[in-house]
């Protein structure tokens, strides 16, 4: 962290969370006997769900579970129990649960309802976080009809599935739960088999959550399936998980699934984050959230700059609704462009260096430095404040970038947080991400410390100084050739407990030397016999601000 040294620059102070359209899940009711479900190994064990390593900043989004039109009907087998009961066909439909259903079905155990990290209060919809997906309220209905087309029996199955992904592993487990919630007429029991698969780049390593599948009213079948998507350095694979059910009366044999569907959104497994990151998986359509934080004890100048820019500039880069986009190529070039023309202020910041925002790690970075707001963050009174340099009194909120005066330690502190955030959220090239920034905001202090400092002002420890001038018609009352000028009019100060160290007033000889330097630097002329130099102690290391007074 750093506090600003006293100086002459004019400053302005200010106090310093669906990428894709929700895709409806389409249920496909199969009508042709063209595929045979693979039989699982005889001795497969259900594996425990892999917990996500993601931070708690995740938000939840939903995609509607869209029902298919029509139903899948199959003739009952001659001599079968159903045919003897008068049923000539069995039909299966799949629909989302009614919107009014807010709780799990009666008789289903609590553990079964909470598949993965599923939101059971929103049945009939897929729920997503960056590292999880789930769906509840899939109703599979089995109906027996006689030769007149009249219903003689009905059974209803409620299906839920859910999984937690891992930011540090490319294998995961998905819990599947089926509960028989309805039975009437000639349907008193059903047989429910379940199979899963996934797209290119992924393998379902355990395809069946259970074996057998006999179920009666109020009973629940639950078990895990598993997937694997190994990746090599730099590789990435996106795919859908897919589901198939074989629903029959007990004893009947189904050769094809009579209900099948795909996950509404893709899962992505990759080893493309970079750095020391290992391979892992995420739901890429869920916005990554990369939080950054700086306390009063941190080297937080760069982080404070990000927060200030989000609040004060129109770009609001990284705030909710204005995400940044990671770009792993051209980082150095974008940083160099934004820091172009940067002028270090070593009298204000030790080992002063440029921090750019939007930073070069984002596609939005790289705006030319001559269009940036020039700022300096300062830790005062326990909180981070930001001062605008730029020798201007009015901040242009349309500025496309920020140049910030910070120490190398502050740059490293921010870079480490950013890299860790990319790893935790699996942010790869092209991923959009939000960048919520948190810095301390102190209370219970004097009003002049709680409110923004006037414009322009100069920081002094935890407080600030402000010198005002007024115009005069002539710089030199005896020689009007110099034209009009300015003279000191009013000085203001907001003094806090922590104050900077000032230097003493200049002696006449040193003062004259300072005046010569000031005149040369600013292109001014004056009559030495009629112009006094008035040192103004500013704090920090301390410098003498040279002003002129007309006699």
User: pLDDT confidence of 203, banded at 50, 70, 90?
Assistant: very high
If one compares 115 and 123, the residue with the highest pLDDT of the two is 123
Alpha-carbon Rg of the chain, whole angstroms?
A: 35
- Same domain, yes or no, for 70 and 149? yes
- Same domain, yes or no, for 97 and 166? yes
- Same domain, yes or no, for 115 and 186? yes
- Same domain, yes or no, for 212 and 154? yes
Distances (CA, A) of 450 to 13, 310, 461: 12, 20, 14
If one compares 491 and 413, the residue with the highest pLDDT of the two is 413
Least confident of 157-166, 284-293, 467-476, 511-520: 511-520
Contact 111, 49 (CB under 8 A): no
**Assigned domain for 47 exists:** no
Distances (CA, A) of 254 to 37, 74, 193, 526: 10, 10, 9, 102
234, 254, 282: which is the final residue of a domain? 282
Bridge-based pairing of strands 125-129 and 61-66 is antiparallel
Does 519 have pLDDT greater than 90?
no
User: pLDDT confidence of 499, banded at 50, 70, 90?
Assistant: low
**Assigned domain for 503 exists:** yes
Residue 95 confidence (pLDDT): 85
Give 49-60 pLDDT, tens digit per residue: 333 333 345 567
- Same domain, yes or no, for 403 and 470? no
Tokens of 525: 């002329």
Residue 71 confidence (pLDDT): 80
Highest mean pLDDT: which of 29-38, 100-109, 232-241?
A: 232-241
If one compares 16 and 409, the residue with the highest pLDDT of the two is 409
User: pLDDT confidence of 491, banded at 50, 70, 90?
Assistant: confident
Highest mean pLDDT: which of 106-110, 335-339, 458-462, 486-490?
A: 335-339
- Same domain, yes or no, for 431 and 543? no
Give 415-465 pLDDT, tens digit per residue: 999 999 999 999 999 999 999 999 987 654 555 666 777 777 777 776 777
422, 438, 454: which is the final residue of a domain? 438
Separation of CA 51 from chain center: 19
**Assigned domain for 69 exists:** yes
Give 365-420 pLDDT, tens digit per residue: 999 999 999 999 998 878 888 888 866 557 899 999 999 999 999 999 999 999 99
Does 228 have pLDDT greater than 70?
yes
- Same domain, yes or no, for 384 and 296? yes
Helix (H) or strand (E) holding 373: strand 373-380
Helix (H) or strand (E) holding 514: helix 508-522
Q: Which residue has the tokens 């100048």?
A: 301
What is the span of the domain harbouring residue 211? 58-268+277-282
Average pLDDT over the chain, rounded to an integer: 78
**Assigned domain for 79 exists:** yes
Least confident of 66-75, 83-92, 308-317, 426-435: 66-75
User: pLDDT confidence of 546, banded at 50, 70, 90?
Assistant: very low
- Same domain, yes or no, for 261 and 345? no
Q: Using CB atoms within 10 Å of the CB of residue 322, give its burial: 0 to 12 exposed, 13 to 18 middle, 19+ buried.
A: middle
**Assigned domain for 174 exists:** yes
pLDDT more than 90, % of the chain: 52
- Same domain, yes or no, for 170 and 294? no
- Same domain, yes or no, for 103 and 154? yes
Does 542 have pLDDT greater than 50?
no
**Assigned domain for 53 exists:** no
User: pLDDT confidence of 230, banded at 50, 70, 90?
Assistant: very high
231, 259, 282: which is the final residue of a domain? 282
Least confident of 105-109, 263-267, 414-418: 105-109
Q: Which residue has the tokens 């590789």?
A: 235
If one compares 25 and 190, the residue with the highest pLDDT of the two is 190
**Assigned domain for 450 exists:** no
Least confident of 1-15, 266-280, 420-434: 1-15
Residue 194 confidence (pLDDT): 96
pTM as predicted:
0.70
- Same domain, yes or no, for 261 and 347? no
User: pLDDT confidence of 179, banded at 50, 70, 90?
Assistant: very high
- Same domain, yes or no, for 434 and 511? no
**Assigned domain for 36 exists:** no
Q: Which residue has the tokens 């009947």?
A: 252
Number of structural domains in the chain: 3
Distances (CA, A) of 62 to 17, 93, 320, 388: 17, 23, 18, 42
């Amino acid at each position: 962290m750093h506090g600003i040294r006293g100086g002459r620059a004019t400053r302005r102070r200010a106090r310093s969370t669906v990428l894709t359209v929700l895709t409806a899940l389409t249920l496909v009711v199969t009508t042709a006997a063209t595929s045979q479900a693979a039989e699982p190994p005889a001795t497969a064990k259900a594996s425990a769900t892999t917990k996500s390593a993601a931070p708690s900043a995740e938000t939840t989004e939903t995609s509607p579970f869209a029902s298919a039109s029509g139903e899948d009907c199959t003739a009952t087998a001659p001599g079968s129990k159903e045919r003897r009961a008068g049923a000539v066909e069995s039909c299966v439909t799949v629909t989302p649960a009614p919107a009014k259903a807010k709780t799990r079905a009666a008789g289903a155990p609590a553990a079964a309802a909470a598949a993965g990290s599923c939101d059971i209060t929103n049945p009939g919809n897929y729920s997503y976080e960056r590292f999880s997906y789930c769906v509840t309220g899939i109703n599979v209905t089995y109906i027996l009809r006689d030769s007149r087309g009249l219903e003689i029996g009905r059974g209803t199955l409620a299906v839920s599935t859910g999984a937690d992904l891992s930011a540090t592993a490319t294998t995961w487990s998905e819990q599947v739960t089926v509960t028989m919630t309805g039975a009437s007429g000639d349907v008193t029991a059903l047989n429910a088999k379940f199979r899963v698969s996934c797209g290119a780049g992924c393998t379902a390593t355990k395809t069946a959550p259970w074996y057998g599948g006999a179920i009666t009213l109020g009973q629940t079948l639950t078990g895990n399936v598993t997937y694997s998507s190994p990746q090599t350095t730099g590789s990435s694979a996106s795919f859908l998980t897919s589901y198939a059910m074989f629903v029959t009366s007990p004893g009947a044999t189904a050769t094809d699934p009579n209900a099948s569907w795909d996950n509404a959104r893709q899962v992505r497994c990759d080893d493309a984050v970079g750095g020391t990151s290992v391979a892992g998986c995420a739901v890429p359509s869920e916005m990554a959230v990369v939080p950054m934080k700086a306390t009063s004890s941190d080297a937080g100048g760069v982080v404070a700059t990000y927060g200030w820019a989000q609040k004060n500039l129109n770009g609001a880069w990284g705030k909710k609704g204005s995400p940044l986009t990671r770009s792993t190529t051209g980082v150095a070039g974008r940083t160099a462009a934004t820091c172009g023309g940067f002028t270090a202020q070593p009298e204000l910041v030790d080992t002063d260096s440029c921090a750019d925002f939007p930073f070069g790690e984002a596609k939005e970075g790289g705006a030319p430095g001559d269009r940036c707001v020039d700022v300096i963050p300062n830790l005062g009174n326990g909180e981070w404040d930001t001062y605008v340099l730029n020798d201007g009194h009015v901040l242009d909120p349309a500025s496309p970038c920020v140049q910030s005066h910070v120490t190398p330690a502050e740059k490293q502190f921010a870079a480490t947080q950013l890299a860790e955030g990319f790893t935790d959220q699996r942010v790869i090239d092209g991923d959009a991400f939000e960048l919520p920034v948190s810095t301390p905001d102190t209370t219970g202090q004097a009003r002049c410390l709680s409110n923004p400092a006037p414009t322009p002002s100069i920081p002094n420890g935890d407080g600030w100084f402000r010198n005002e001038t007024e115009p005069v018609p002539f710089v030199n009352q005896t020689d009007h050739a110099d034209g009009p000028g300015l003279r000191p009019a009013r000085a203001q100060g907001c003094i806090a407990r922590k104050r900077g160290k000032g230097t003493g007033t200049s002696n006449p000889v040193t003062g004259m030397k300072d005046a010569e330097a000031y005149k040369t630097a600013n292109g001014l002329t004056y009559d030495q016999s009629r112009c006094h130099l008035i040192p103004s102690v500013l704090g920090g290391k301390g410098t003498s601000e040279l002003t002129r007074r007309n006699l």
